Amino acid sequence: MDKKSSGEKTAEIRRAEILEDARRQHIPVMMDSGMAFLLEFVKEHTEIRDILECGTAVGYSAIQMALVRWDMRVDTLEIDADMVEEARRNIEAQGLSKRITVWHTDAARFETEQIYDLIFIDAAKSQYRRYLEHFMRNSRPGTWFVFDNLNFHGIVDHPELSSNRSTIQMTHKILKFRNHLLSDDRFETVFYPDTGDGIAVSRRIV
């Protein structure tokens, strides 16, 4: 028997529409398998409550993470003003405005004293190393960092798949970051190349 209320069903349908609309407009959103992995990770690690997300887009991933448990809190950062407004509308429609805050800012310039349990980075790929160092101050031993798009559609490991010079340059930076992350002794890192578009999960240990 389906115990969902009509309101819950309506909210669920609307979330599916948010995702469909984003993909139709070619707005970057996490792949389904990557999102499923992230949400299961958050569910399994019950110590995660306060989340920082770099790269809001339309607010879909922030909404999904906030819905994992009633006490989840998400700060999400977006540089595009139009995306900020759309994300805020979507979040309000889901009744989550009190638990998700959308900040209109360059992630690398965001300043807060908050310490987060999880920092999810899915913004400008060439800036991942910069974001990592910037947000070390908002982490502690035990904080999780999750990075998406470390394969970038397979081009990171197979640059011959693209003839676009700027794309190839960006994927070289992603590969350099990926290798750095795997050797950074401040973290224990596991790379999941076949999940989503390549996801790394790093736990700060010092």
Please give the full DSSP string across 105-131, using - where no structure is assigned: S-GGG-------SEEEE-S-GGGHHHH
pLDDT of residue 4: 74
Q: Tens of pLDDT along 144-201?
A: 999 999 999 999 999 999 999 999 999 999 999 999 999 999 999 999 999 999 999 9
Task: For residue 94, report the phi and psi dihedrals to the nearest 5 degrees.
Answer: -90, 0
Distance CA 163, CA 134 (A): 32
Q: What is the pLDDT of residue 9?
A: 86
The edge-to-edge listing of strands for the beta sheet with 100-104 is 100-104, 73-78, 50-54, 118-121, 144-147, 199-204, 187-192
pLDDT of residue 2: 55
Question: Is 202 within 8 Å of 187 (Cβ atoms)?
Answer: yes
Classify domain 29-204 by CATH architecture.
3-Layer(aba) Sandwich (3.40)
Q: In this model, does residue 53 exceed pLDDT 50?
A: yes
Q: Please tell me the predicted confidence (pLDDT) of residue 1.
A: 44
- Identify the CA nearest to 41 among candidates 109, 112, 119, 115: 119
**Contact between 115 and 48 (Cβ < 8 Å):** no
CA distance 186 to 184: 5
- The amino acid occupying position 112 is T
Residues facing residue 121 across a β-bridge: 54, 147
Kindly indicate the confidence band of residue 6, based on its pLDDT and cuts at 50, 70 and 90.
confident
Percent of the chain with pLDDT over 70: 99
State the alpha helices, DSSP H only, in 25-144.
32-44, 60-66, 81-93, 128-134
| Domain extent listing, the chain | 29-204
Q: Is the pLDDT of residue 128 over 80?
A: yes
Location of structure tokens 């999750």: 146
Q: How far is CA 185 from the centre of its chain?
A: 23
